[in-house]
């Protein structure tokens, strides 16, 4: 099989490429990325000599280049990770989110129809459901929870999901959608909470916790997310949505304390800063459908996964130094300077 992985140089995309090459050694992987600030070709260094792997630098909004690629390669499966993915950036500058996350998806779906792709998989997010109250631990997102996005990022992802479903109904696009909770693990860019807090703690920089740190996220190791996508795109039912999550809810402050403890740093580094606008309170996934239909269950417990992740960042200081130099410093100053 020939598989196109878009957004392959980002956090989840790169983990997914490694997993595909390892678990399906007879498949061919074409890794595509436009290499925005979040895309890093070094993330894929470990597979550059694999004969079943090839990288192409293309923007998913570039219809002409995408069509040319699809014409040349005849993909069996397209799995789309490419996106602007950071909520805080979407609050500062929504436009690029609409362009990549909606119009880019439109280009990929048109190409999939035109060139006979057998399965288009859209990597979506639990954020399309909005949030849940903190005091109703009995409530979870299911696949039938109405879409109710809060940020420009989640609205753009929800729009893409609606478009994928419309292409399925109207044009018979063979497709699946996965909606996963928060991922953590290697290669995550330190604008997201976990790698940002690890980086700051290591450098004795204050850890900026939004609001009171009581917002809850449902954490899943990136490896488990990749395995879920692998199952869905190969075996999931045409036109279906699958929620992915591991019942692992944690308040942000709890995660931050875990990181400080693991690094032997003092809690006085915690600084409560102005809350995120429209900050979603709680995410919690009901993964019953993917378990029942595809037998998926998470394999990594947070307690071990977070220690392994912290160790990865400790062992990859060169990677961290590179991605936190230059533009990152400007971003950090703009985002946190007067917060
Ligand atoms: P990321 O920001 O680390 O990676 C996104 C990648 O897409 C980058 O390599 C970037 O260069 C590339 N990209 C951006 N715009 C592009 C364009 N126009 N053309 C081609 N490539 C482009 O994001 P991530 O955390 O790896 O997320 C990947 C996907 O998974 C996203 O669609 C996101 O919505 C979804 N998701 C993420 C999480 C999470 O916790 N990180 C959870 C659920 C779903
Ligand atoms: O739920 C899936 C989503 O998870 C994905 O769709 C998004 O792409 C991904 O970025 C993530 O969104 P979040 O907004 O939940 O992740 P983030 O790491 O930005 O923030 C996690 C929580 O930590 C959130 O409640 C905000 C808080 N936070 C974040 C940062 C960056 C802080 O308190 N301080 C920070 O500096």
* The pair of three-digit structure tokens given for residue 279, joined into one six-digit string: 């900050």
Q: Indicate the top mutation candidate among 210, 224, 256, 272 to test ligand 2's pocket, ranked by most ligand atoms within 8 A of CB.
A: 210
Summarize pLDDT for 121-159 with one digit per residue, the tens: 999 999 999 999 999 999 999 999 999 999 999 999 999
Q: What is the pLDDT of residue 339?
A: 86
The values of phi and psi at residue 124, to 5°, are -110, -160
Ligand 2 atom closest to residue 192's alpha carbon, by position in its atom list: 18
Q: Indicate the top mutation candidate among 85, 182, 184 to test ligand 2's pocket, ranked by most ligand atoms within 8 A of CB.
A: 182
Nearest CA to ligand 1 atom 14: 83
Q: What's the CA gap between 261 and 197, in Å, rounded?
A: 12
Active site annotation includes 153: yes
Ligand 1 atom closest to residue 36's alpha carbon, by position in its atom list: 11
* 213 C-alpha to ligand 2 centroid (Å): 12
Domain residue ranges of the chain, discontinuous segments joined by +: 2-336
Q: What is the pLDDT of residue 6?
A: 99
- Please list the ranges in the chain whose pLDDT falls under 50: none
Q: What's the CA gap between 143 and 285, in Å, rounded?
A: 9
Closest CA to 259 of 208, 202, 220: 202
Active site annotation includes 334: no
Q: What's the CA gap between 218 and 34, in Å, rounded?
A: 29
Q: Is the Cβ atom of 282 under 6 angstroms away from ligand 2?
A: no
Q: What's the CA gap between 238 and 81, in Å, rounded?
A: 19
* The pair of three-digit structure tokens given for residue 75, joined into one six-digit string: 């993909």
Instruction: Report the alpha-carbon angle 260-261-264, nearest 5.
Output: 85
Ligand 2 atom closest to residue 213's alpha carbon, by position in its atom list: 33
Q: What's the CA gap between 274 and 277, in Å, rounded?
A: 9
Helix locations, the chain, DSSP H: 11-23, 63-73, 87-92, 95-98, 105-114, 152-171, 193-202, 222-235, 252-262, 288-294, 302-315, 317-323, 327-336
Exactly one of 153, 187, 283, 313 is catalytic; which is it?
Answer: 153
Active site annotation includes 127: yes
pTM for the model stands at 0.98
Q: Is 227 exposed, middle or buried (0-12, 13-18, 19+ CB in 10 A)?
A: buried
Give the ligand with the smallest distance to the CA of 181: 2
Q: What is the pLDDT of residue 326?
A: 85
Q: Is the Cβ atom of 217 under 6 angstroms away from ligand 2?
A: yes
Q: What's the CA gap between 160 and 101, in Å, rounded?
A: 7
The values of phi and psi at residue 15, to 5°, are -60, -35
Domain 2-336 has CATH 3.40.50.720: yes
């Amino acid at each position: 099989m020939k598989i196109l992985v878009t957004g392959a140089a980002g956090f989840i995309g790169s983990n997914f490429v490694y997993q595909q090459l390892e678990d399906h050694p007879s498949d061919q992987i074409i890794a595509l990325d436009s290499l925005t600030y979040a895309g890093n070709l070094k993330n894929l260094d470990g597979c550059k000599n694999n004969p079943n792997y090839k990288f192409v630098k293309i923007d998913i909004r570039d219809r002409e280049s995408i069509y040319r690629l699809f014409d040349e390669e005849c993909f069996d499966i397209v799995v789309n990770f490419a996106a602007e993915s950071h909520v805080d950036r979407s609050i500062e500058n929504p436009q690029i989110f609409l362009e990549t996350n909606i119009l880019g998806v439109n280009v990929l779906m048109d190409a999939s129809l035109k060139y006979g792709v057998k399965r288009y998989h859209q990597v979506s997010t639990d954020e399309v459901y909005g949030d849940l109250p903190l005091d109703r631990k009995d409530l979870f997102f299911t696949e039938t929870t109405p879409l109710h996005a809060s940020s420009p990022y989640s609205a753009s992802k929800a729009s893409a999901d609606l478009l994928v479903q419309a292409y399925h109904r109207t044009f018979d696009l063979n497709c699946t959608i996965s909606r996963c909770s928060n991922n953590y693990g290697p290669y995550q860019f330190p604008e997201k909470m976990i790698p940002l807090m690890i980086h700051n703690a290591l450098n004795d920089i204050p850890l900026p916790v939004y609001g009171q740190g009581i917002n809850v996220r449902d954490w899943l190791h990136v490896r488990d997310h990749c395995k879920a996508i692998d199952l869905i795109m190969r075996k999931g039912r045409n036109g279906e949505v699958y929620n992915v999550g591991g019942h692992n809810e944690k308040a942000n402050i709890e995660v931050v304390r875990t990181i400080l403890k693991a690094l032997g740093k003092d809690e006085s580094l915690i600084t409560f800063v102005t809350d995120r606008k429209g900050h979603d309170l709680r995410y919690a996934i009901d993964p019953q459908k993917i378990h029942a239909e595809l037998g998926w269950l998470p394999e990594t417990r947070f307690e071990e996964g977070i220690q392994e992740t912290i160790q990865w960042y400790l062992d990859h200081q060169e990677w961290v130094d590179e991605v936190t130099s230059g533009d990152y410093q400007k971003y950090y100053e703009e985002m946190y300077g007067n917060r």
